Amino acid sequence: MTRITAAVCTAYNAPLEIEELELRAPLAGEVEVTLEAVAICHSDIHFAEGAWGGNLPAVYGHEAAGRVTAIGEGVTGVSLGNRVVVTLIRACGTCTQCASGKPTICETPGGYASPLSRPDGTSVVQAMNCGAFASHVVVDQSQIVPLPDDMPPEAVALMACGVITGIGAVVNAAGLRAGQDVVVIGAGGVGLNAIQGARIAGARRIVAVDMSEEKLAIARDFGATDGVLATGESPWKEAIKIMGRGADAVIVTVGAIPAYNRAPRYLGWGGKMVMVGMPHSGAMAEYEPVTLAYMSQGMIGSKMGDVVIRRDIPWMADLYRQGRLKLDELVSGRWRLDQINEAIADTKTGGAKRNVIIF
């Protein structure tokens, strides 16, 4: 057992509590990672608010980077001391989805006992297969990718979720081709990376839609060609006027029902709406099916950008090292673990791109 420090959720909508926990040694196929950085994602906040259920006590956090400090039996492709990105994508490698190249929707990712416990033996949930609001984690080898030492840990951590989710939604889920037009609804952390993905894919027009002029200005820094305020009565009309036609793809990166209700209106003939942002359980959206059917439009969900992490993260890391992918600019603030509640509060204001806990 390793004694670690973690931010524990003991009650929904309550501040996280800093506790000393026990972390068991890695079993076969697992690795222990001593963390250097973990970013705060809105998904962590929603879980801590009880939006999607679950059990408590729990440790959240799933965008992490660190060094491998222990290796279980049978682990390959990684050595002690390697810097790795730690993702929530735990994949069995043998189910139908994994065998089809879709590990983000692995059919059998769970069924394992949490490696976390309190000193009195009480089990603590390792949320989202990571539990990375902690000094150390033990995760399955399928969840990590070694990355170069010359990448700062903050940049590595961001590649665990927000970056791959945004870029992957455009490149993998939407299959955007050079010369096509895309609308990205929401210019937060995931939205900015969807914009970067569209730029990398060679989009003709990249229209960012957000409630904030300030965030639209930031979106332009990340590659948006145009910005439209969502506060108007019919923002899709302005976007279509800019593009000269409806969008080939609309990427919804926020979990707001009004955004989902409006999203199909931005689409052109044969366009595709990619659903990334996750509303609270039970929230419902409304559509006019006849329009989608007549215009041969599509709607598709995208979990974690439909990535294969050993394939997609290394090329994104290479783009960063070439200066073609912005990661450092996504970091809004750096905080200590004992400041995590302040960092979460800052994130909830909506102004932060990504706040990062540094160990």
How many whole angstroms from its chain centre is CA 32?
22
Contact assessment for residue 37 and residue 356, using Cβ atoms and an 8 Å cutoff: yes
Question: At residue 25, does pLDDT exceed 70?
Answer: yes
Q: Which residue has the tokens 């259920």?
A: 53
The tokens describing 7, both together, are 């931010």
Domain 2-159+327-358 identical in fold to domain 166-302: no
pLDDT at 53 (0 to 100): 83
Among residues 314, 312, 330, the alpha carbon closest in space to that of 322 is found at: 314
Mean pLDDT of the chain: 94
Q: How far apart are CA 178 and CA 206, in angstroms?
A: 12
- CATH among 3.90.1530.10, 3.90.1150.10, 3.20.10.10, 3.40.50.720 for 166-302: 3.40.50.720
Max avg pLDDT among 37-46, 236-245, 286-295: 236-245
Note if the bond before 115 is cis, omega within 30 degrees: no
Give the CA distances from residue 123 to residues 24, 60, 132, 320, 328, in Å, rounded to whole numbers and listed in that order. 11, 14, 16, 39, 36
Q: Which long-range contacts (CB under 8 A, 24 or more apart) does 348-355 make?
A: 348/45, 350/188, 350/212, 351/214, 353/188, 353/189, 353/192, 353/218, 353/329, 354/39, 354/40, 354/41, 354/63, 354/158, 354/162, 354/189, 354/330, 355/39, 355/40, 355/331
Question: At residue 232, does pLDDT exceed 90?
Answer: no
Quickly list H helices, the chain: 42-48, 96-99, 153-158, 162-168, 189-201, 213-221, 235-243, 257-262, 289-294, 309-322, 340-348
pLDDT at 110 (0 to 100): 67
Residues in Cβ contact with 308 at an 8 Å cutoff, skipping those fewer than 6 apart: 101, 103
Average pLDDT estimate for 251-270: 96
Question: At residue 351, does pLDDT exceed 80?
Answer: no
Question: At residue 51, does pLDDT exceed 90?
Answer: no
Average pLDDT estimate for 65-76: 96
Contact assessment for residue 54 and residue 120, using Cβ atoms and an 8 Å cutoff: no
Contact assessment for residue 334 and residue 356, using Cβ atoms and an 8 Å cutoff: yes
- 322 versus 354: which is more confidently predicted? 322
Helix or strand holding residue 30 (H, E): strand 30-39
The tokens describing 254, both together, are 């926020």
Average pLDDT estimate for 6-30: 96
**Per-residue pLDDT reduced to its tens digit, 91-110:** 999 999 999 999 999 998 76
**Per-residue pLDDT reduced to its tens digit, 155-209:** 999 999 999 999 999 999 999 999 999 999 999 989 999 999 999 999 999 999 9
pTM: 0.93
Q: How far apart are CA 47 and CA 188, in angstroms?
A: 18
> pLDDT > 70: what percent of the chain?
99
Q: Which fold is adopted by the domain 2-159+327-358?
A: Quinone Oxidoreductase; Chain A, domain 1 (3.90.180)
- 342 versus 280: which is more confidently predicted? 342
pLDDT at 286 (0 to 100): 92
How many whole angstroms from its chain centre is CA 207?
21
Residue 166: count other Cβ atoms within 10 Å of its Cβ.
29
Three-point CA angle 347, 349, 355, nearest 5°: 20
**AA letter at 331:** V
- Helix/strand/coil for 206: strand
pLDDT at 108 (0 to 100): 84
What residues does each domain of the chain span?
2-159+327-358, 166-302
pLDDT at 123 (0 to 100): 95
- 65 versus 287: which is more confidently predicted? 65
